[in-house]
Amino acid sequence: MAFAGRSNVGKSSLINALTGRKALARVSAQPGRTKQLNFFNLGRRLCLVDMPGYGYAVAARQVKEDWQGLMFDFLRGRPTLQRVIVLLDARVEIKDNDLAAIDLLDRAAVLYRLVLTKADAVKPAALAKKQDEVTALARKHPAALSDIITTSSDTGFGIDELRADLLGLALP
């Protein structure tokens, strides 16, 4: 499973929450700290990949383009990759680079699930609206699973649901 999303969307925090280890994946408040593919082999045919973020990052433009090229090269033509988890921040609107990443996954026929992060930072009515928006987005894309998962790494909301989904892929 690979975790993709914009810089500072919470990829590393979510990996830590899923594994129950606070410092497995490096977490930083500064966007763009993950600069390479980080592999976490959890056994039982389950490997999580923390990918560099796309979009905003405190780095030179060429460095950001190199990160994005690395990410997209990793995703294409990888038969052992069972799913990509595309993280979207529940607090902000869906950006053009999110849509570009989703379109690339569709073209590459890579199965993916949209997952909202940072749900604890959004009021319930706004969160419900964002969930409806992201569910509608998922249903428009052929490689996306139609149901989304909403999470909060801080409170643990949705972590068990996402963990069960990922473990289901690891079991024979």
Q: What is the pLDDT of residue 34?
A: 57
Domain that holds residue 39: 2-153
Burial class of residue 17 (count of CB atoms within 10 Å of its CB; 0-12, 13-18, 19+): buried
pLDDT greater than 70 at residue 106? yes
What percentage of the chain reaches a pLDDT higher than 70? 80
The verdict on residue 140 lying in a domain is yes
Structure confidence at residue 67 as a pLDDT band (50, 70, 90) = low
CA dist list (Å): 155 to 84, 116, 135, 151: 23, 14, 22, 9
Domain count, the chain: 1
Helices (H), the chain: 11-19, 61-75, 96-107, 124-139, 159-170
Question: For the segment 129-169, what is each residue's pLDDT rounded down to a tens digit?
Answer: 999 999 999 999 999 999 999 999 999 999 999 999 988 88
Question: For the segment 74-105, what is each residue's pLDDT rounded down to a tens digit?
Answer: 777 677 788 999 999 999 999 988 998 898 88
**DSSP-derived secondary structure letter, 55:** S
**CATH number of the domain within which 49 lies:** 3.40.50.300
d(CA 169, CA 46): 8
The verdict on residue 159 lying in a domain is no
**DSSP-derived secondary structure letter, 4:** E
The verdict on residue 166 lying in a domain is no
The verdict on residue 20 lying in a domain is yes
The verdict on residue 74 lying in a domain is yes
